[in-house]
Amino acid sequence: MYTRLKLYLTLFGTLFLFMGCADFSLDLSFSDIQGLKKEAPIFFDQNKVGHVTHIAYTDGGEFIVSVDIDDAFKSAFTEHSRFSIVDSPLQENEKAIIMTLAHKGGEPLKKGAVIKAVPPSPLQGLTPFMDKLKSGMDKMVNNMKSIPESKEYQDLEKRIDELAQKMKTSGEAFQESIKNDFIPKLKKEIEALGKALEEKGMKDETKPLEKKLNALEDV
């Protein structure tokens, strides 16, 4: 009898120990899970911080992805957390979830919260593109040799071609962001470049670039 009682106490003690050390759980709502599976890893700042425990499809057409976050990282998950489904760096042909922070600080997420997964802006990764674009334009304005033959001009053409290829293999959200937000800004930059070059006696030098931009809108 004493031995059995001792066994029960040990089992209950172990149970409470596991309950006290349970991971931080959240539910993420996605409109598309892109083949994400149970046990898929979750990453933050290049660290594996958790995994998917359950996936359910709702009557409203949303996927509820339940995740467990390692207790050591739970403070990193705040109201500014953004979630994206990406190719897993651990296994080929598998998916993973990556969490990024739109801003520092913010209220910590509460255990069991249901969060609508709002991914980072598709244009966020194009900032280096715009920086290099403006740098190349400045160099062209200050360079009096034939513009289409300059390295900067050829680099711009190449980058626009690369963007066109990326659009062809990307989702509808990325394509719409490029067409509605990025291309208008790019057109303004190229128009400004054209005016600056025209003042230096070089007319119609940017026509090929404008033609490539117009083609982007038809991708």
pLDDT of residue 201: 75
How distant is the alpha carbon of residue 131 from its chain centre? Answer: 19
Model pLDDT, residue 48: 93
Residue with tokens 């194009």: 126
**For residues 128-143, average pLDDT:** 60
Query: So what's the pLDDT on residue 162?
Result: 80
Confidence of residue 138 (pLDDT cuts 50, 70, 90): low
**Confidence label for 143 from pLDDT (cuts 50, 70 and 90):** low
Query: What is the structure's pLDDT at 114?
Result: 87
Q: Which amino acid is at 186?
A: L
Query: Quick check: 3 pLDDT over 80?
Result: no
The pLDDT, as a whole number, for residue 125 is 53
Contact present, 63 and 57 (Cβ < 8 Å): yes
Quick one: average pLDDT of 9-30? 57
**31-40, 61-70, 150-159: which has the minimum mean pLDDT?**
150-159
- Amino acid 161: pLDDT: 83
Residue 15: is its pLDDT beyond 90?
Answer: no
Q: How far apart are CA 124 and CA 136, in angstroms?
A: 20
Q: What tokens appear for 180 in the block?
A: 């509605």
**pLDDT higher at 9 or 186:** 186
Domain ranges of the chain: 2-116, 124-216
- Tokens representing residue 156 in the block: 């711009």
Position 8 confidence tier, pLDDT thresholds 50, 70, 90:
very low
Distance CA 5, CA 110 (A): 37
Q: Which residue has the tokens 């598709």?
A: 122
Place of tokens 């600056």: 196
- pLDDT higher than 90, residue 168: no
